[in-house]
Amino acid sequence: MGRFVLTLLLSLGLTHAQAEIVNVDSAELARLQSEGIPVVDIRTSGEWQQSGVVPGAHLLTFFDEQGQSDPEAFLARLKSIAGPDKPVAVICRSGNRTRIVSQFLSGQAGYTKVYNAQGGMQAWLASHQKVIAADKASSTCGNASNC
């Protein structure tokens, strides 16, 4: 997946000025969400089913199980959750994919403020934060190109 991600970022070009990316822990993520900042869970459907999801999170896969992505379809769906002028928080399993997606959102997609959940769902669960079953989430979408 690493080579694909590097290729993806290079192919998108780094032409836009990068906006603010803020790394947050689980407690800060919960606080931001309570203030109305949407949390977008970019993991795959299987991962949602396995560990549950942050209550109120929007489920929108960025990378599928093969590490492939459709950035345009992802952005089209994301804009219905939070436009580029609004802050958004992203979470994945461990924080690796959200680092990449945060850079993409702020550098190429024009998002002005992106919160990256450090440690992802692993940290969320380790800090004993609440989770819900994926089928109870705000929105579900197994593959961004099918949203």
Kindly state the helix (H) or strand (E) to which residue 80 belongs, with its residue range. helix 71-81
Measuring CA to CA, how many Å separate 63 from each of 2, 28, 46, 86, 110? 12, 25, 12, 23, 20
pLDDT tens for each residue of 10-44: 444 444 455 789 999 999 999 999 999 999 999 99
CATH topology of domain 2-146: Oxidized Rhodanese; domain 1 (3.40.250)
Judged by phi (left if over 0) then psi (alpha if -120 to 50, else beta), residue 18 lies in: beta
Rg (CA), the chain: 14
pLDDT tens for each residue of 119-135: 999 999 999 999 999 88
pLDDT tens for each residue of 37-94: 999 999 999 999 999 999 999 999 999 889 999 999 999 999 999 999 999 999 999 9
Strand partners, 117: 24
Which candidate, 111, 54, 55, 116, places its Cα nearest to that of 87?
111
Q: Residue length, the chain? A: 147
Tell me the C-alpha distance between 40 and 88, whole Å. 7
Which candidate, 87, 94, 90, 3, places its Cα nearest to that of 39?
90
What pTM, to 2 d.p., does this model score? 0.85
Which pLDDT does position 147 carry in this prediction? 52
Name the residue type at position 14.
Answer: L
